[in-house]
Structure 1
Amino acid sequence: MAQAAEEVGIDGAFVRVHHFERQLASPFPLLSAIAARTSRIEMGTGVIDMRYENPLYMAEEAAATDLISGGRLQLGVSRGSPETVLRGAEAFGYVPPDGEDAADMARRKTEVFLAAIDGTAVARTDPARTGISGGLAIQPQAPGLRQRIWWGAGTRATAQWAAGLGVNLQSSTLLTEDTGVPFDRLQAEQIELFRQAWKEHGHEHEPLVSVSRSVLPITEDIDRIYFGDQAQEDQVGLLEGVRSRFGRTYAGEPDKIAAELAADEAVRAADTVLFTVPNQLGVEYNARILATIAEHIAPAFGWARA
């Protein structure tokens, strides 16, 4: 899929990460394979669930993958999404200590991970073996990777927290809050609060923001069979007991979708738009969808093929 996406001019290939499901659970082998088989396209995640991760081992894997790719890794991390498994991270040996919940643990691990890829000493030398005492950073180090880490934020408050860490913002097709305004407007508010918080923290570089959209262009009869009735408006419901708002699905003629996305407040505010694709339909089918998006839809909101 990543090779096909690169051939039609798409800028990045991002993969979802889920445990205990028939989906990808260990992204770094695949990301390294993408790096080895492509030359231009970025590769990333949306998102790695930090509840399941050893942050220092993950920092080693991320740095190695980024070096293999020549600095093309865009790594999305987060607290993770709701799961069918009960306390799945605990099965991996990660139990929140007293006073923490799973979300707190994920954020703490993220801070350790960021320090590790930033070159901070995370261990000490053994004077009995080396004759010296000093700090050791994880190896390898990947210059520039720290500025290519993204936090998948589901609320306005977590977006502001991410700004404090100095990481980019990934906002998906779900927000675990609802104020009654349309999804794109609520997401645009989240982006604005993130950028305001970024300025207040005085970071030296400019942040990046991505949003995700479910887009199903219909150009052939087979598309109409698959997706002719898939167009939806925003959905509001309870997720883990929290009132949440789900973004709409864009299905229809490419020109119609292009106009709708061009009017989307969050799409206009973002630097990157991630398009979800029905990957179970295979590479050839999805390559055609991506080509349609690249030619007829993405240019409507300012994207240009590399």
Structure 2
Amino acid sequence: MRAFGFLSFGHYGSAVGAPGVDARQMLHDAVDISVGADELGVNGAYFRVHHFARQSASPMPLLAAAAARTERIELGTGVIDMRYENPLYLAEEAAALDLLADGRVALGVSRGSPEPADRGWEAFGYHGSTDPRGADLAREKFELFLRAVRGEPMARAAENGYMSSAAPGAGLRIEPHSPDLADHIWWGAGSRESAENVGRTGLNLMSSTLLTEATGESFGDLQAEQIDRFRAAYREAGHTGRPRVSVSRSVFPIVDEQDRMLFGMRPGEGADQIGIIDGMRSTFGRTFTGEPDQLIEQLRADAAVQSADTLMLTIPSQAGVDLNLHILESFAQHVAPALGWKPNTEGPVEGDPV
């Protein structure tokens, strides 16, 4: 494990009978956690994107604010739901963000997970999907987005040449253009088949927090097979880059009595869970809670954690800045070094040769 970061769902609002942070506080906390994590040498700050929910939604303002106050930490999403996006406008925003952040962006995108709204992307003005999950729409948009990010012409210069030195009819790419942004694009994959598609496309792999498969194997073993298939497909497609691979886990080191009170293991938390999502039996990863030595042993035995280069720790963002930085610091001091990690002093890591 060469890198670890945090993955925040950005929850806000109140549960019944209990106070909670509002959207403003959630966003400010997210920036402050990113700043504190950067100072600890944590490698990445990644944020979920959901619509019509009291969670993080539009990521670009948040990531830009975090970029302005940090120096080395990678800033990204896990993941942007392409069903809801204008692909060319997203390409403009992503390029501007990558330039502002000096190349520290790790933009995770995908079809997205189930959302609260029924075909909510249609409320955003995007119609035409024949798939009840919108997968066809997401894939079509992503292909256009990737072409734009890579600098392909997206329009033709006008005859009058207004505000352009391009010859009439010449191809115009999206501006601004970030030359290395295409290397920072990740696809969030929830199955072995989708991971193979990522490899063939030549992107980085962001393995999902759940897998839409349930074979009886452990979540870590299923995910490790997914990673192997991704890397094999990447090689077979003739790509020669160094793709990154990330997995996410809920990990709570117990280093003091407060930790024991807050994170002491509850029934069922120490095992993978099987459930139904999008009508498919799916495997959800377990929660890791325990003394540092226990966590080191468990994570060393997790085949996917050992195979990936980046581990994302899902954090209880609504619990506030101090507690979340305590969780990250405990992991950084007492667990991560035994897994091969060193504090970040230079910026994003490189991927593995395949």
State the TM-score, normalizing by the size of structure 1: 0.96
SS in 1 for 2:178: coil
Give the drift of 1:224.
2.3
Q: Which residue of 2 aligns with 1:46?
A: 78
Q: Which residue of 2 aligns with 1:258?
A: 296
Q: What residue identity is the alignment partner of 2:84? A: Y
Given the superposition, is the C-alpha separation of residues 304 and 134 from structure 1 closer, same or farther in structure 2, using an over 3 Å criterion? same
Give the drift of 1:29.
0.6
Cα distance in 1 for partners of 2:246, 2:92 equals 25
* Residue 98 of structure 2 is aligned to residue 62 of structure 1: no
Any idea what the Cα deviations from partners look like across 1:114-155, whole Å, max 9, x if unmatched?
Answer: 100100001111124456211110000012110110000000
- Deviates most, 254-263 or 134-143: 254-263
Please state which structure has a larger fraction of its residues in helix.
1
SS in 1 for 2:335: helix
Q: Which residue of 2 aligns with 1:177?
A: 213
Cα distance in 2 for partners of 1:279, 1:229 equals 19
Give the drift of 1:295.
1.1
8 Å CA contact 2:200, 2:234 repeated in 1: yes
8 Å CA contact 1:169, 1:208 repeated in 2: yes
Q: Which residue of 2 aligns with 1:202?
A: 238
- Deviates most, 89-98 or 280-289: 89-98
Q: Which residue of 1 aligns with 2:53?
A: 21
1:54-93 aligned at under 5 Å gives the runs 54-93=86-125
Higher relative contact order (CA 8 A, sep 6+): 2
* Structure 1 unpaired stretches of 5+: none
Partner residue of 2:189 out of 138, 153, 160: 153
- Deviates most, 94-103 or 170-179: 94-103
Cα distance in 1 for partners of 2:216, 2:143 equals 33
* Alignment coverage as a number of residue pairs: 306
Cα distance in 2 for partners of 1:52, 1:135 equals 27
Give the drift of 1:173.
2.4
- Deviates most, 123-132 or 241-250: 123-132
SS in 2 for 1:46: strand
SS in 2 for 1:212: strand
* Residue 31 of structure 2 is aligned to residue 2 of structure 1: no
8 Å CA contact 1:173, 1:214 repeated in 2: no
- Deviates most, 281-290 or 80-89: 80-89
Q: Which residue of 1 aligns with 2:330?
A: 292
Partner residue of 1:135 out of 171, 174, 179: 171
Give the drift of 1:300.
2.3
Given the superposition, is the C-alpha separation of residues 29 and 99 from structure 1 closer, same or farther in structure 2, using an over 3 Å criterion? closer
Give the drift of 1:272.
0.6
Q: What residue identity is the alignment partner of 2:264? A: G
Any idea what the Cα deviations from partners look like across 1:232-266, whole Å, max 9, x if unmatched?
Answer: 20011211210100111101212211210011100
Partner residue of 1:234 out of 268, 272, 284: 272
Partner residue of 1:36 out of 68, 82, 99: 68
Cα distance in 1 for partners of 2:322, 2:305 equals 27
8 Å CA contact 1:122, 1:137 repeated in 2: yes
Q: Percent identity?
A: 55
How big is the alpha-carbon RMSD for the aligned residues of Structure 1 and Structure 2? 1.4
Q: What residue identity is the alignment partner of 2:313? A: F
Q: Which residue of 2 aligns with 1:269?
A: 307
SS in 1 for 2:326: helix
Given the superposition, is the C-alpha separation of residues 258 and 96 from structure 1 closer, same or farther in structure 2, using an over 3 Å criterion? farther
8 Å CA contact 2:130, 2:136 repeated in 1: no
8 Å CA contact 1:259, 1:300 repeated in 2: no
Give the drift of 1:214.
0.7
8 Å CA contact 1:163, 1:197 repeated in 2: yes
SS in 2 for 1:126: coil
Cα distance in 1 for partners of 2:339, 2:304 equals 11
Cα distance in 2 for partners of 1:122, 1:82 equals 31
Cα distance in 2 for partners of 1:192, 1:204 equals 16
8 Å CA contact 1:45, 1:74 repeated in 2: yes
* Residue 199 of structure 2 is aligned to residue 167 of structure 1: no
Cα distance in 2 for partners of 1:275, 1:160 equals 24
Q: What residue identity is the alignment partner of 1:117? A: V
* Residue 343 of structure 2 is aligned to residue 305 of structure 1: yes
Given the superposition, is the C-alpha separation of residues 216 and 46 from structure 1 closer, same or farther in structure 2, using an over 3 Å criterion? same
Q: Which residue of 2 aligns with 1:190?
A: 226
Give the drift of 1:100.
8.6
SS in 2 for 1:169: strand
Give the drift of 1:220.
2.5
